[in-house]
């Protein structure tokens, strides 16, 4: 607790990987927690995020251009009507035979008993996405959902959720889309809404909101699956991540443990390989952040970062050569596309470099940035250190030296980064890991309850004891063996925080850079 609060320069709600432009000495010895809340310049961070987003004049212009191009393409296709009509029909058949292994009988008990369903539909009630089964088999079900939404809307009201029969049905209306979650888990409405929001932004990141609006303004009953075809797997994967990845729960990302000297060299090499159009340079090791360098004054929202993680992690296509793709970072700007250069540093490496540019013609420039970065990096020993660090991307909870402690999540609010050890043997199976995540989710909803938030929470059960604690500087979730006591848990917190403080150089990015 030794001044952990000091880290808080941004409120958790913004959750940005915000600038922590402070000297290391400053953070090391400020023993006063709690001084933070008043001095927290969170609002500043937030406004910076949005104001600067709009100052990217070319982004909006480009989006309009994209939309125009899209319209043009539509027109050109109308020319060859006959062929196309036949094609469309075939296309529609194709959706069902797309081989997404979703051939599931939607009237079966098995389909009904999935823990969490997610449906996306257009405001005209047309199916766009379902997590299980096929969209066309569900068109009448989705029709009913839309009817519910419009019925309540007609009364100048909004339907938020339905609780019945152990099920929660949550609605999120984000014109022109409607998202519906049906869950048997004990997650709160708010948590479920957050997940639907992720799905919404996932779709926006592929198309931009401008394009979405444009499409539905012109053709209300447009079948959006046409444009999302081939990307359903991104949504599928994102839903899987939402069940398993603590980062999505905590609104934070985790780092590859790496000696700070090596990380600094990697960061500065990345910083040196800059270009005019470059906004973010991100180096990933699997699902872990190695470093992130950003344009001055530009901040990347954790949600956008998770969408990038999901894109890179879900697709093998960046393994072959260099990828170059338009991507909308919806928390930054829903109107326009960035263009991301995505490539692995070496063919079999886990290290993936993402260079986010504002210019869609800048491929070779980005490619050159990568080359310069690699050149710099290879000249120094840091590259070897980095490669060695990849061999142990995680750590065991035993290193902390608290015998009863099985697992924990620790999030530093100001940096938007979290750290967590690997799962111990008790939680080796996927089911157990998901169960533990479910418990964390539960604690998380209690701590962030909209009207009665808790500061700390201790819970005993037959299988484990849990402690959660939130301060203005950090969020902490601990999982103990069921034999541990409350007193022990409380003393463990102190010990753990001391350990994290000792290891923070390695576990977090303490000196993020800008260009």
Partner 1 sequence: MGESLPDVPGGDQERGAAFRRPVRTLRVKMVLLGGSGVGKSSLALRFGKDEFRSTSPTVGCAYLTRVVHLSEVTLRFEIWDTAGQEKYHSVTPLYYRGAHAALLVYDISSRESFIRAQLWLKELEKQSVPGSTLTWLVGNKGDLDQDRQVSAQEGKKLAKDRSLFFTETSALSGDQVNELMLDVAHRVYEHVGEEQGGLTEWKETLPEEMYHRDTSNPLSSCCKVGP
Min dist. Cβ of residue 329 to partner 1 (A)? 14
Whole-number Å distance between alpha carbons of 217 and 139 = 21
Whole-number Å distance between alpha carbons of 88 and 106 = 25
Asked whether 367 and 393 are in contact (CB, 8 A), the reply is no
Binder among 32, 39, 44, 69 for partner 1 (CB under 8 A): 69
| Contact string 189-208 vs partner 1 (x = CB under 8 A) | -----------------xx-
Asked whether 145 and 178 are in contact (CB, 8 A), the reply is yes
Q: Which stretch binds partner 1 (CB under 8 A): 77-85, 107-115, 407-415, 434-442?
A: 77-85
Residues near 373 by beta carbon (within 8 Å), at least 6 away in sequence:
269, 270, 272, 273, 281, 353
Q: Give per-residue burial for 471-481: e unless 16+ CB within 10 Å, then b.
A: bbbbbbbbbbe
Establish if 70 lies at the interface with partner 1 (CB under 8 A).
Answer: yes
Alpha-carbon torsion angle 307, 312, 315, 321, nearest 10: 140
Q: Which is nearer to partner 1, 325 or 433 (CB)?
A: 325
Min dist. Cβ of residue 73 to partner 1 (A)? 5
Establish if 315 lies at the interface with partner 1 (CB under 8 A).
Answer: yes
Establish if 61 lies at the interface with partner 1 (CB under 8 A).
Answer: no
Binder among 66, 236, 475, 504 for partner 1 (CB under 8 A): 66
Q: Which is nearer to partner 1, 31 or 230 (CB)?
A: 230
One DSSP character per residue, 394-434 reads S--GGGG--TTEEEEEEEETTTTEEE-PPP-GGG-SHHHHH
Establish if 230 lies at the interface with partner 1 (CB under 8 A).
Answer: yes
Establish if 349 lies at the interface with partner 1 (CB under 8 A).
Answer: no
Q: What angle do CA 380, 386, 387 make, to 5 degrees?
A: 105
Min dist. Cβ of residue 63 to partner 1 (A)? 11
Binder among 26, 31, 57, 76 for partner 1 (CB under 8 A): 76
Strands (E) in 41-88, as ranges, are: none
Whole-number Å distance between alpha carbons of 147 and 151 = 6
Q: Which is nearer to partner 1, 320 or 428 (CB)?
A: 320
Binder among 13, 368, 422, 428 for partner 1 (CB under 8 A): 368
Backbone angles phi, psi at 182, to 5 degrees: -120, 115
User: Which residues bind to partner 1, rule: CB under 8 A?
Assistant: 66, 69-70, 73, 76-77, 79-80, 83-84, 86-87, 90-91, 94, 206-207, 226-231, 233, 311, 314-318, 320-327, 340, 342, 347, 360-361, 363-365, 367-368
């Amino acid at each position: 607790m030794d001044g952990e609060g000091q880290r808080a320069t941004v409120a958790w709600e913004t959750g940005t990987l915000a600038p922590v432009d402070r000297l290391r000495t400053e953070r090391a010895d400020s023993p006063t927690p709690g001084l933070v809340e008043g001095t927290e310049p969170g609002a500043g961070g937030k406004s910076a995020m949005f104001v600067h987003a709009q100052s990217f004049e070319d982004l909006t212009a480009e989006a309009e251009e994209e939309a125009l191009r899209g319209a043009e393409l539509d027109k050109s296709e109308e020319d060859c009507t006959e062929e196309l009509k036949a094609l469309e029909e075939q296309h529609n058949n194709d959706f069902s035979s797309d081989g997404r292994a979703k051939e599931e009988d939607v009237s079966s008990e098995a389909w009904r008993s999935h823990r969490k369903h997610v449906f996306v539909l257009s405001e005209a009630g047309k199916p766009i996405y379902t997590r299980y089964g096929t969209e066309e088999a569900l068109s009448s079900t989705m029709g009913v959902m839309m009817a519910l939404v419009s019925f309540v809307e007609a009364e100048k009201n909004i339907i938020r959720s339905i609780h019945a029969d152990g099920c929660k049905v949550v609605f999120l209306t984000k014109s022109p889309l409607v998202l519906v979650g049906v869950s048997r888990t004990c997650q709160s409405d708010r948590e479920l809404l957050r997940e639907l929001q992720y799905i919404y932004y996932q779709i926006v990141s592929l198309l931009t909101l401008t394009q979405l609006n444009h499409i539905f303004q012109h053709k209300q009953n447009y079948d959006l699956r046409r444009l999302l075809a081939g990307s359903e797997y991104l949504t599928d994967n994102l839903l899987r991540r939402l069940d398993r990845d603590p980062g999505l729960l905590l609104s934070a990302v985790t780092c590859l443990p790496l000696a700070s000297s090596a990380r600094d060299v990697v960061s500065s090499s990345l910083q040196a390989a800059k270009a005019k159009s470059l906004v973010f340079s991100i180096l990933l090791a699997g699902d872990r952040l190695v470093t992130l360098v950003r344009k001055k004054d530009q901040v990347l929202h954790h949600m956008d970062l998770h969408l990038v993680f999901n894109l890179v992690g879900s697709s093998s296509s960046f393994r072959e050569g260099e990828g170059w793709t338009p991507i909308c970072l919806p928390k930054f700007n829903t109107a326009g596309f960035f263009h991301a250069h995505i490539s692995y540093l070496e063919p079999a490496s886990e290290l993936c470099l993402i260079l986010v540019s504002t210019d869609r013609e800048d491929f070779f420039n980005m490619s050159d940035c990568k080359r310069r970065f690699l050149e710099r990096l290879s000249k120094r020993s840091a590259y070897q250190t980095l490669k060695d660090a990849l061999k142990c991307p995680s750590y065991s909870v035993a290193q902390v030296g608290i015998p009863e402690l099985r697992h924990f999540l620790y999030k530093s609010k100001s940096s938007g980064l979290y750290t967590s050890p690997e799962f111990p043997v008790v939680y080796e199976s996927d089911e157990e890991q998901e169960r533990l995540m479910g418990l964390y989710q539960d604690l998380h909803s209690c701590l962030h309850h909209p009207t009665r938030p808790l500061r700390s929470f201790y819970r005993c059960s037959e299988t484990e004891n849990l402690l959660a604690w939130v301060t203005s500087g950090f969020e902490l979730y601990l999982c103990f063996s069921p034999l541990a006591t409350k007193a022990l848990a409380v003393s463990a917190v102190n010990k753990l925080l001391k350990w994290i403080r000792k290891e923070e150089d390695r576990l977090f990015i303490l000196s993020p850079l800008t260009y």
